């Protein structure tokens, strides 16, 4: 018996899948590289393959090129922003200064706390303790004091050398302070304590001033001028009151 007839659908102009893809690539002008898988213009495919075959280390060279380009990029990598900023500052001394400038600024920053402490203490004492702090700063960092550089009408100042005699809470040392002759003994002792001379446990009443190592103690209400110091320089001896 004859086989039953099966209806067939005839496809006209059929093209196989691979041939269709090749034709599409040729029509678009690009071909896929069999080595890298990249789409390369058809007219550059031969040159592209020749370079790849001549240089088998093309990928290593490409990676090195990308790393170099990233290092020279104007954009900071997110993982090392601090390091990039340091390199940028070093490359632009016209904007941020040289290494010597940075060293000078760091040295000044170490001295600034002393200056700030002297300024605050001077304001707190209303000019009395400030004179001693200002003179101490002049002795430490060589900066002229404000009082000594003021113009006409400035108070009558003298450079006083205070010789500390070793005792309970007081070390043997010498300190130079620039003070007003109208300063009383009590005010001078308190100013010296505020300037860091003597232990923190000492009070002004625990100290005594004299014009000689074994001379009588200066009364607290007397000024330096009344105590006999009338020249531009003088010497006072500071000791702990014996109990």
Q: 237 has which bridge partners?
A: 163, 210
| 84 Cβ neighbours under 8 A, 6+ residues apart | 76, 77
What's the confidence (pLDDT) of residue 102?
66
The label of the residue with tokens 């900071």 reads 76
Helices of type H across the chain? 17-28, 45-54, 58-71, 81-91, 93-96, 99-124, 128-141, 146-149, 185-194
Contact 33, 40 (CB under 8 A): yes
pLDDT reported for residue 23? 61
Look at residue 152 and tell me whether its pLDDT is greater than 50: no
The number of C-alpha atoms within 13 Å of 173 and in the hemisphere containing its C-beta is 9
Where do we find the tokens 């290593």? 60
> Rounded to two decimals, what is the model's pTM?
0.36
* pLDDT per residue as tens digits for the range 155-194: 577 788 888 888 888 888 888 888 888 888 888 888 888 8
Q: 3-7, 26-30, 47-51, 203-207: which range is least confident on average? A: 3-7
pLDDT band at 72 (very low <50, low <70, confident <90, very high): low
Which segment of 23-32, 89-98, 116-125 scores lowest on mean pLDDT?
Answer: 116-125
Tokens coding 211: 């014009």
17-63: pLDDT as tens digits: 666 666 655 556 788 888 777 888 888 888 888 877 776 666 777 77
pLDDT at 55: 66
Contact call for residues 179 and 135 (beta carbons, < 8 A) = yes
How does DSSP classify residue 187? H
How long, in residues, is the chain?
A: 243
Between 128-141 and 99-124, two packed helices, what is the crossing angle to 10 degrees?
160
CATH 3.10.20.90 maps onto the chain at 106-147+157-240
Average pLDDT of span 212-228: 85
Give ∠ CA 28-32-36 in degrees, rounded to 5. Answer: 150
**How high is the mean pLDDT of the chain?**
71
**106-147+157-240, CATH topology level:** Ubiquitin-like (UB roll) (3.10.20)
Looking up tokens 């007003």 gives: 180
Output DSSP code: residue 217: P
């Amino acid at each position: 018996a004859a086989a039953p007839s099966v209806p067939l659908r005839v496809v006209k102009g059929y093209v196989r899948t691979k041939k269709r893809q090749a034709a599409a690539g040729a029509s678009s002008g690009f071909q896929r590289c069999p080595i890298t898988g990249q789409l390369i213009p058809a007219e550059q495919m031969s040159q592209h393959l020749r370079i790849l075959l001549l240089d088998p280390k093309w990928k290593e060279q490409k990676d090195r090129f990308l790393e170099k380009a990233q290092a020279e990029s104007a954009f900071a990598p997110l993982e090392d922003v601090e390091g990039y900023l340091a390199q940028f500052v070093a490359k632009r001394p016209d904007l941020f200064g040289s290494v010597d400038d940075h060293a000078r600024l760091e040295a000044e920053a170490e001295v600034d706390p002393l200056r700030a402490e002297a300024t605050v203490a001077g304001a707190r004492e209303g000019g009395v303790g400030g004179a001693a702090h200002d003179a101490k700063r002049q002795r430490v960092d060589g900066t002229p004091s404000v009082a000594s550089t003021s113009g006409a009408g400035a108070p009558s100042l003298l450079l006083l050398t205070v010789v500390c005699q070793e005792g309970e809470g007081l070390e043997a040392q010498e300190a130079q302070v620039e003070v007003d002759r109208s300063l009383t003994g009590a005010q001078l002792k308190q100013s010296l304590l505020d300037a860091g001379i003597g232990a923190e446990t000492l009070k002004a009443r625990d100290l005594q001033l004299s014009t000689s190592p074994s001379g009588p103690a200066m009364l607290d209400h007397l000024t330096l001028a009344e105590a006999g110091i009338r020249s531009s320089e003088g010497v006072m001896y500071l000791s702990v009151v014996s109990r």
